[in-house]
A and B are shown apart, each in its own frame.
Chain A
Amino acid sequence: MEITRRSFIKSAAVNSAVAAAAMLFPGISFGAAKDGDLESGKIQWKKTPCRFCGTGCGLLVGVSGNRAVAVKGDPNSPVNKGLCCVKGYHSIQALYGKDRLQKAQVRQNGKLVDVPLKDALDLVAQKLKETVEKHGKNSVSIYGSGQWTIPDGYAASKLFKGCIGTNNVEANARLCMASAVTGFATSFGLDEPMGCYDDIDHADVFVTWGNNMAEMHPVLFSRMLANRKRKTHVKIIDFATRLTRTSQAADKSIIFKPQTDLAVANAVCYEIIRNNWVNTGFVNSHVSFHKGLAEIGYGTKDHFEFQDKPETVDFEKFKAFLQDYTPEKVEKISGVPAKDIKYLAALYGDPDKKVTSFWCMGMNQHTRGTWINNLVYNIHLLTGKISSPGNSPFSLTGQPSACGTVREVGTLTNRLPHGVVMNEADRKHAAEIWQVPVANIDPKPTYHTVEMFRALDRGDIRFMWIQVTNPMVTMPNLKRYRDGALKEDRFIVVSDVYPTPTTDVADVILPAAMWIEREGFYGNSERRTQHFEQIVPPPGEAMCDTWQLIEVARRLGFEKQFPWPRETYIGEIWNEYSKFHNSPKHRMASYQVLKERSGVQWPFVDGKETKWRYNPKYDPAAAKDKDFDFYGCPDNKAWIWLRPYEPAAESPDTEYPFWLNTGRVIEHWHTGSMTRRIPILHSAVPSAYVELHPDDAEALGVVNGDKVKITSRRGSIVMTASINGRGMPPRGMVFVPFFDENYLINEVTLDAFCPISKQPDYKKCAVKLERVS
C-alpha cells in the first residue's frame, strides 16, 4: 500500500509540474510524461468541481479505500480541459490536516469543551428559539458564504426567511461579489455574465481591470496565454494599481491611481465617441441612457441608507457628461498618460477586434463598485462588443459558489431564490414552494453584511450562526466586530472544518463535513452548475452544513418544510430549488443530468446549454426576430449609466501618506484556514508580508526582511517587508495579503462600502509606515 501511495503522489507531482509548465508555455509537450500508476485501475476516479476558486475547474479525485489520494484535472470539464493550478492539485490534502474539527464543542465557563454533536444541535435550536422569544425574530441571523454549497444556502434561506421570518441572511459574497450583482442588475436588469469562458478562445484583446488573473484565476489566464500563442496578434492589457505576475505576462501594463478607474473608463468612452467608433446601429436599437445620484457617501456610519434615483437621459446628455473626461484631464486625475487612454479606447473601438474585459475584486471591492461595473459595460455597449463570442465584459467570481449559492439562491438580505423580498409576487412564489404562510416572509430587507456585524456589536442582533467562512479575519475594521461578537449576551455558532479566529469567538462549534465528504453543488463564474457526490467519509462527528440546518429546523418544529430522508435530501432539495428557476431565462439542468456531466450552464432549455445570453443565436429566452434582446430591463434595452469619478472614502494625506491595498496570493485560499494546512502551500508562502516600492523602502531605511509597522486610523500591525517580490506597488502604496490569521490586516482596513452594493472596499485606505528596529 505504501508503495502504491508513493507512486500516486509521484504521479500527482508529475501532473502538477506538467500543468504548471503548460500555464507558462502553452502547447508545451513532454513525451515522457504519462499518468503511470494513476491509470493502473488501482484507484477509482470521481469527478468534482475544485474546492477553491470561482473558476470552477473540474477535478478528478482518485480514491483508495476511504481516502482521497490523488487529483488530476478533469479532461471532460470545458472549464479547464484537464488543467489545474497548484491549489487544485493539492486540494485533497486540505481534508487531512491534523487539527480537523471532528467533535462539537460548547463554551462552558469560558472554555470550549467537547460535547456530543446531538447535544450541540439541541443547544443551537434552544438558543435560537429563546433569542427570538426574548428579542424578536430580527435578533437572530445566519452568515454564510460563497463556499456554501447550493443546498446549504437554500436550506439556510428557507429556514431563516421562510420559517423563522427574518431577512437576516447574508453571505461573505457581499464582501466579494455584491458590486458585480448590482452592476448587472442596474445595467441589464438580471444578474450574472452574458458570456462564458469560451470568450477566451475567441477574443483578440483582453483587458484585465484591476485583476491579477495570473494568480487569482490561473487556469483562465493560461487559456488566455494559449490563445495568444496560437494567434500572434492577440494582446493582453493589464490595467492595474500595482505590478503583478499578470503584468509580467501582459503585452502592456497601465498603472492608474486607486479609484481613478472611474475617470479612465469615462475617458475611454469619450475617445470612442470622439473618433466615431460608436456602433450606432447597436446603440440605437439596444441601449438607453440613465443618470443616478452623485456624491452618494461611503457608509462608514451605522444605519447608513442610500436609494438611487435613476433618471432617463439621452445620448447627447451622455456626450456632454463625458466632456469632463478628456484623456488630458483624466491623465491629471489618474496618472495614466493620455496616449495610453487613447490606446485603450482604440482597442475597444476597433470594429475588427473582439475584446473581452475581465475583472474581479479590484472593481468590486470599491466604494463605487456598482459604478465602475456600469462604466465598463458602457464601453462594451457603446461599441456593441457584448453577448457574442469573444466580445464580453466578464465579471469573474472569487469563490466556488458565489454565483451558484449566493447570487442564484439569493442568500442576501433582500433576495429570495427567485426575485426579491420587496416584491409581493416573489414572496408568494417562495411561500408556495416553501409551504409557509406568505406573511412569514418579511417584505423589508434588514442588514447587509457590514451592518449585520454592526448590529451584533450594538446588540440589535444577539444570535449569529456562521457557516463556511471566517469573518473574524475578513471583516474590515475588524476589531470593532470581534469585540462586538465577544460581548455579553451574544451567542455565536460556528460550523467549520478547522479552528480559526472565528471559532475562537464561538459559543458552539459544529464540526463540518468538507467539500467531497458530502454531496453538493457549486455554481461558477460562467453560470455553470457542478454536482459532486460524497466521495470520502467525513472525520469523527463532522456533519454536512445542510444537514446541520435540517437538524436544527426540525428541532424548531419545521419538520414539514424539511422532510427529506438523509439518503436523498440533496437531490430532493435540488428538485425543490429548481422550481424557482423554471423559465427559459434561468432553467437549470435536472439532478440526473448534473450527476452525469462535468457541469452544465444555465439557461438549460430542451437539453441545450446557453453560452451567450441576450443573443438569439444562443439564448432560448431572446426574441428570435432581433439581433440582440436585452430582456432583463423593463425597456428591453441595456442601460448606459452616467457615473462620475468620485474620490475614495479615505485617501493618503500628510499624516497617513500611503495607500493600503489588500488581496491574495496564488498559493492560499482566502484566510488560509485550509491552504495553510497543506504543507507545500504553507511552506511556499508561510506568512503574510507587506510589499513596498523599493524607493519608499529606501526612504524609510527598510530592506527586505525588516519589520515595518503599518498604522491606520483604526489599528496597526507589524509585518515583514517584501521588496521586489512577486508584486510591486507604485510609490505611495503598500500591499498586504490577508491569508494569514497571525497578521490581521483587517484591523487596519476601513469599513467603507459602495452605497448601492454595500460591498466594502478592501483596496483603499490611508496608512503610515515606520521601520521597527
Chain B
Amino acid sequence: MPIFSYLAYPAAGAKETLLGDLRRLKYCEVMPADNEDLLILVTDTPDEAAEALLQQKIKKLSSLQSLSMAFGHADLQTDHVKKG
C-alpha cells in the first residue's frame, strides 16, 4: 500500500489549475497552501502497479512544475542494504 506525500510546485500562475488537475486523479488528495504557491499532494494507491501508473499521469500535467517527496511508505524491501 504505497503512501507518499509531496510538495507540488505549480507552473507559473497555474496553482488553481494544478489543484483541479490533481483532484481529478484517482488516489490523490491535495491541500493547497493558503499563502504560498505550493500544494501538498498525498497519494494512496493499492499496489505498486497503480502507483507507477499514477506517477506517469502526474508527470504529464502541464500545470505542474516539479514535485518534491516529503514522506513515503511502501513496504519496500531493503534486504540488499547489507552487502555480502
- Could you tell me which A residues sit within 8 Å of B by CB distance? 6, 9-10, 12-14, 16-21, 24-25, 27-33, 86, 89-90, 93, 97-99, 498-500, 672, 676-680, 682-684, 741-742
Give complex CA distance A306, B73 in Å. 51
User: Which 10 residue pairs of A and B lie closest in terms of their CB atoms, listed nearest first?
Assistant: A680-B72, A16-B71, A679-B76, A13-B5, A17-B70, A17-B5, A20-B70, A32-B31, A13-B71, A17-B40
Give complex CA distance A741, B81 in Å. 9
How far is the CB of B58 from the nearest CB of chain A, in Å? 15
How far is the CB of B50 from the nearest CB of chain A, in Å? 15
Asked whether, in the complex, the Cβ of B33 is within 8 Å of the Cβ of A679, the reply is: no
Asked whether, in the complex, the Cβ of B7 is within 8 Å of the Cβ of A6, the reply is: no
Asked whether, in the complex, the Cβ of B42 is within 8 Å of the Cβ of A17, the reply is: yes
For A681, the closest partner residue in chain B by CB is B72
Task: Point out the residues of chain B lying under 8 angstroms from A31, CB to CB.
Answer: 34
For B82, the closest partner residue in chain A by CB is A499
Given contacts A13-B3, A14-B5, contact A683 B76 (CB under 8 A): yes
Task: Point out the residues of chain A lying under 8 angstroms from B35, CB to CB.
Answer: 27-29
Asked whether, in the complex, the Cβ of A98 is within 8 Å of the Cβ of B78, the reply is: yes
Give complex CA distance A683, B4 in Å. 12
Given contacts A90-B71, A97-B78, A682-B78, contact A6 B34 (CB under 8 A): no
Task: Point out the residues of chain A lying under 8 angstroms from B38, CB to CB.
Answer: 21, 25, 28
Asked whether, in the complex, the Cβ of B79 is within 8 Å of the Cβ of A17, the reply is: no
Can you add 19 more A-B contacts, CB < 8 Å, to A17-B40, A86-B70? A6-B3, A6-B44, A13-B3, A13-B71, A14-B42, A16-B70, A20-B68, A21-B36, A25-B36, A30-B40, A33-B31, A679-B73, A679-B76, A679-B78, A680-B74, A680-B76, A683-B74, A683-B76, A684-B72
Give complex CA distance A29, B35 in Å. 6
Given contacts A13-B5, A28-B35, A86-B70, contact A679 B75 (CB under 8 A): yes
Asked whether, in the complex, the Cβ of B71 is within 8 Å of the Cβ of A12, the reply is: yes
Asked whether, in the complex, the Cβ of A13 is within 8 Å of the Cβ of B79, the reply is: no
Task: Point out the residues of chain A lying under 8 angstroms from B69, CB to CB.
Answer: 680, 684
B:14-46 near A, CB below 8 Å: 31-36, 38, 40-42, 44
Give complex CA distance A97, B77 in Å. 9
How far is the CB of B45 from the nearest CB of chain A, in Å? 12
Asked whether, in the complex, the Cβ of A25 is within 8 Å of the Cβ of B33, the reply is: yes
Give complex CA distance A498, B82 in Å. 9
Task: Point out the residues of chain A lying under 8 angstroms from B40, CB to CB.
Answer: 14, 17-18, 21, 30, 33
Tell me if B60 is interfacial: C-beta within 8 Å of chain A: no
Give complex CA distance A93, B71 in Å. 12
Q: How many residues from B make CB contacts under 8 Å with A?
A: 32
Task: Point out the residues of chain B lying under 8 angstroms from A25, CB to CB.
Answer: 33, 36, 38
Task: Point out the residues of chain A lying under 8 angstroms from B33, CB to CB.
Answer: 21, 25, 28-30
- A-B pairs with CB below 8 Å: how many? 113
For B31, the closest partner residue in chain A by CB is A32
Task: Point out the residues of chain A lying under 8 angstroms from B4, CB to CB.
Answer: 13, 680
Task: Point out the residues of chain B lying under 8 angstroms from A90, CB to CB.
Answer: 71
B:49-68 near A, CB below 8 Å: 68
Give complex CA distance A672, B78 in Å. 12
How far is the CB of A156 from the nearest CB of chain B, in Å? 27
Residue B34 contacts which of A29, A97, A678, A679 (CB distance < 8 angstroms)? Answer: A29
Which interface residue of A17, A500, A672, A742 has the most chain B CB atoms within 10 A?
A17
Which interface residue of B3, B32, B74 has the most chain A CB atoms within 10 A?
B3
Task: Point out the residues of chain A lying under 8 angstroms from B78, CB to CB.
Answer: 97-98, 676-679, 682
Given contacts A13-B3, A20-B7, contact A98 B31 (CB under 8 A): no
Give complex CA distance A10, B7 in Å. 15
Task: Name 28 A/B residue pairs within 8 A (Cβ), A-sorted.
Answer: A6-B3, A6-B44, A12-B71, A13-B3, A13-B5, A13-B73, A14-B31, A17-B40, A19-B70, A25-B36, A28-B34, A28-B35, A28-B36, A29-B35, A30-B31, A32-B32, A33-B40, A86-B71, A97-B81, A98-B79, A99-B79, A99-B82, A676-B81, A679-B76, A680-B71, A680-B74, A682-B78, A741-B83
Task: Point out the residues of chain B lying under 8 angstroms from A10, CB to CB.
Answer: 3, 42, 44
Task: Point out the residues of chain A lying under 8 angstroms from B70, CB to CB.
Answer: 13, 16-17, 19-21, 86
How far is the CB of B60 from the nearest CB of chain A, in Å? 22
Which interface residue of B1, B31, B82 has the most chain A CB atoms within 10 A?
B82
Task: Point out the residues of chain B lying under 8 angstroms from A17, CB to CB.
Answer: 5-7, 40-42, 70-71
Asked whether, in the complex, the Cβ of A682 is within 8 Å of the Cβ of B71, the reply is: no
Task: Point out the residues of chain B lying under 8 angstroms from A679, CB to CB.
Answer: 72-78
Which interface residue of B1, B35, B72 has the most chain A CB atoms within 10 A?
B72
Task: Point out the residues of chain A lying under 8 angstroms from B31, CB to CB.
Answer: 14, 30, 32-33
Give complex CA distance A683, B74 in Å. 10
Give complex CA distance A31, B78 in Å. 36
How far is the CB of A258 from the nearest CB of chain B, in Å? 31
Task: Point out the residues of chain A lying under 8 angstroms from B72, CB to CB.
Answer: 13, 679-680, 683-684
Task: Point out the residues of chain B lying under 8 angstroms from A27, CB to CB.
Answer: 35
